[in-house]
Amino acid sequence: MAAAPSRLRSPWGPPRPGRGSIPILRRHFLVWRKTAITTVLGDVMDPMVALLALGFGLGSLLPGIDGAPYITFLSAGSICMGALYAATFEATYSAFSRLHLQRTWDAMLNTPLSLDDVVAAEILWAGAKSMKSGLAILLVVALLGVSREQTLLWVPLVLVLLAVTFASLALVVTAIAKGFDFFLYYFTLVVTPMVFLSGVFFPVTQLPAALVGALRWLPLAPAIELVRPLVLGRLPEHPWLNVLQLAATALAAAWLATALMRRRLLR
């Protein structure tokens, strides 16, 4: 692929996206609009099934946690899990399809758009779909009366940070993937352990004490620590520490994804 000289700077320099990301986002939206209903169902069904089956089914057999019914405790984890899966699928399988099968990236890079514009747009688009999934589950939580606390109004702001973080991490994997099968490693070795060990289904304090401190650094853990108190009707403890961890993870992952894409496509 031919590249303009301005695109051949050191791959490890900071990302420098510009206004070119905006038409790319519009392009993704116009394509998505054609299959909006099916993609919305796909984004929310898995977390919703877990919420309804475990929350109402298993939850009726379990005592409350932190003074709240189990389904209320679980709903916070379901919101974060929905955001995680939506961002991950979009920034891996869908982004890889645009990169290799559809050759969409090739077409865009043969215009004045820069690679940094394309990468930033992919992160933002995956983040937007992540937000959509998280907000859909949040709406169901409110409509079912699982939680109607005023603090739920803060959840969308938290979801913005979660969405960008999860999307950036997934795009790092896409940058090194050789084929669709490679994503199975990420889901099996990273996503699934995060879901089961970050407090989605039970308090992490139930795990061995030696693991609790280490699991705190999983990206999903601070997300749940921010969202769960809001669902339960209170403000998070030490919120800025969790925000700082997520922001640092998002920044580092976005930078790494950009650098790896530069090495892959512009060398």
Query: What pLDDT is stored for residue 53 in this prediction?
Result: 77
Report which listed range, 16-20, 21-25, 207-211, is most confident. Answer: 21-25
- More confident site: 138 or 40: 138
> Where does the pLDDT of residue 4 fall: very low under 50, low under 70, confident under 90, or very high at 90 and above?
very low
Tell me what the pLDDT averaged over the chain comes to. 88
Share of the chain above pLDDT 90, in %: 59
The per-residue pLDDT for 71 is 87
Written in H, E and C, the secondary structure of the chain is CCCCHHHCCCCCCCCCCCCCHHHHHHHHHHHHHCCHHHHHHHHHHHHHHHHHHHHHHHHHHCCCECCECHHHHHHHHHHHHHHHHHHHHHHHHHHHHHHHHCCHHHHHHCCCCCHHHHHHHHHHHHHHHHHHHHHHHHHHHHHCCCCCCHHHHHHHHHHHHHHHHHHHHHHHHHHHCCCCCHHHHHHHHHHHHHHHHCCCCCCHHHCCHHHHHHHCCCCHHHHHHHHHHHHHCCCCCCHHHHHHHHHHHHHHHHHHHHHHHHHHHCC
pLDDT > 70 in the chain, percent = 93
pLDDT the model gives residue 43: 62
Examine the pLDDT at 211 and tell me if it is beyond 80.
yes
Q: What is the pLDDT of residue 2?
A: 40
Q: What is the band of 42 on the pLDDT scale with cuts at 50, 70, 90?
A: low
For residue range 225-250, what is the model confidence (pLDDT) as tens digits? 999 999 999 999 889 999 999 999 99
**Which has the minimum average pLDDT: 39-43, 205-209, 254-258?**
39-43
Residues 6-30: what's their mean pLDDT? 84
Q: What pLDDT shows up at residue 157?
A: 94
Indicate the pTM of the whole model. Answer: 0.89
Q: Which residue has the higher pLDDT, 266 or 133?
A: 133
**143-179 residue pLDDT tens:** 888 888 899 999 999 999 999 999 999 999 999 999 9
pLDDT at 124 over 90: yes
pLDDT at 248: 97
